[in-house]
Structure 1
Amino acid sequence: MAGQFDIFTDAEANVRFRLLGADGTVLAISKAYDDKRAAAEGIMEVRECAGTGLIKETRSNAWGGTGWTRTGLPTPAHRRHRHFPAV
């Protein structure tokens, strides 16, 4: 079974959607929308770009900015960190 989108109303009465994996795991939660139609349009945008979206890693540095790496260069083993957003 494929994943699915679930439209819901949050505690602040905003309409949002979440992307659920095949096993029901929440993979992503959208921003707040004014109504169901706008949320459905957001789902269409995600569907359109998800298959071709690039992966970009952004890191924070000690001075509050974000660091960047040149594409295609391997990251040294001591600097390989995976950070995943809380859901």
Structure 2
Amino acid sequence: MAGIFEVFVDGESFFRFRLKSPDGVVIAVSTPFEDKPAVVAGIAAARECAGMGLVTDLCPAAGAREPAGMARPMAIPRNAGPQACDEPRKASDGFRTRAKELRRAATAPRWTGAA
């Protein structure tokens, strides 16, 4: 099951939307919008970007604090290639071509003919 977008009015009388997972956990909350059409456009933009969104690693080189009782992960060697943390990962042309095909398939009519 997919996530659920909820439109609501915040304490400052602005419109916002939140994305909830199927089990009811809030995943994201939007910035404030002036009116409902703007919120709908924001939801459409979030839907369009979320499926093919790239991930950018903004973690410091030193890493995050480790929680108590957790085993420490293995270190990635510096010569491990593009999957190493310090090197940005480059998308290959094949990935971009496949992404375009998926976008075209998603925007194509889902069915044809009369019901």
Fold similarity call, TM over 0.5: yes
* RMSD across aligned positions (CA): 2.1
**2:37 corresponds to which residue?**
37
Partner-residue secondary structure (3-state), 2:47: helix
Give me the whole-angstrom Cα distance separating, in 1, the residues matched to 2:60 and 2:2: 34
Q: TM-score, normalization: structure 1?
A: 0.68
Q: Bigger relative contact order, structure 1 or 2, given CA contacts below 8 A and separation 6+? A: 1
Greater helix content: 2
Q: TM-score, normalization: structure 2?
A: 0.53
Instruction: Please list every run of 5 or more consecutive structure 1 residues that lacks an aligned counterpart in the other structure.
Output: 62-71, 77-87
Greater strand content: 1
Q: What is the CA-CA distance between 1:2 and the residue it aligns to?
A: 1.9
**2:84 corresponds to which residue?**
74
Aligned residues: 67
Percent sequence identity is 42
Instruction: Please list every run of 5 or more consecutive structure 2 residues that lacks an aligned counterpart in the other structure.
Output: 62-81, 87-115
